[in-house]
Chain A
Amino acid sequence: DGGITQSPKYLFRKEGQNVTLSCEQNLNHDAMYWYRQDPGQGLRLIYYSQIVNDFQKGDIAEGYSVSREKKESFPLTVTSAQKNPTAFYLCASRDRGRVDTQYFGPGTRLTVL
């Protein structure tokens, strides 16, 4: 089965704790992305990676960190510096085939108590 997986689907953490969200893809895509979605809002770009061992900040990178050690994996860490971390987090990868498009994972809903 090809696709993008994110785990867990729901995540609860106490305020002040760092938490890492996983994102794995077996689509052999080079580029991967992390977005944040708040209720009733659009998607805002946190970080993106064009290739292994390289990543760039998106529009709302403060309080987040990422790594890209493997092509298949692009984990996102939500640090305690993120003022309002409760949100729906979506990971995506980019297919630069005949139609350049993004494939999204199922998302992780993070709630910080």
Chain B
Amino acid sequence: GQQVMQIPQYQHVQEGEDFTTYCNSSTTLSNIQWYKQRPGGHPVFLIQLVKSGEVKKQKRLTFQFGEAKKNSSLHITATQTTDVGTYFCADQNSGTYKYIFGTGTRLKVLA
């Protein structure tokens, strides 16, 4: 079955440094969604990418969808302590009601 992997699994950065997490799928992604889960909390939807090569920005966050629709990335510029949490990508399979979540990247920001 489809596997969605994220790298790195963990990342510790100093506050103010940039951070990037990569999402790679074994099959072509339908639509890619990104979620953030704060420690002890639940996942919260951030954004959805649909088109090949699409780039979207939300303040310090930049999301990209690969040209071949088999990978995606989330880049945070100048991290802040509020960015702490685990970031998940998810393939929203357009043919079913299922979502396939990536393995997640846990970000820790050191003040």
Contact = CB atoms under 8 A, between A and B. Distances in A.
A40 B48 CA distance: 24
Contacts of B101: 35, 42-44
Interface of A: 31, 33, 35, 40-45, 48, 50, 56, 58-59, 90, 94, 99-107
Interface residues of B, number: 21
Contact of B42 (A31, A59, A90, A101): A90
Interface of B: 1, 9, 31, 33, 41-45, 48, 88, 90, 92, 97-99, 101-104, 106
Contacts, number: 48
B47 to A, nearest CB: 9
A42 B42 contact: no
Contacts of A48: 97-98
A90 B43 contact: yes
24 contacts: A33-B99, A35-B101, A40-B106, A41-B104, A42-B88, A42-B101, A42-B102, A43-B43, A43-B101, A44-B101, A45-B99, A48-B97, A48-B98, A56-B97, A59-B1, A90-B43, A94-B97, A99-B48, A100-B48, A100-B92, A101-B45, A102-B99, A104-B42, A106-B42
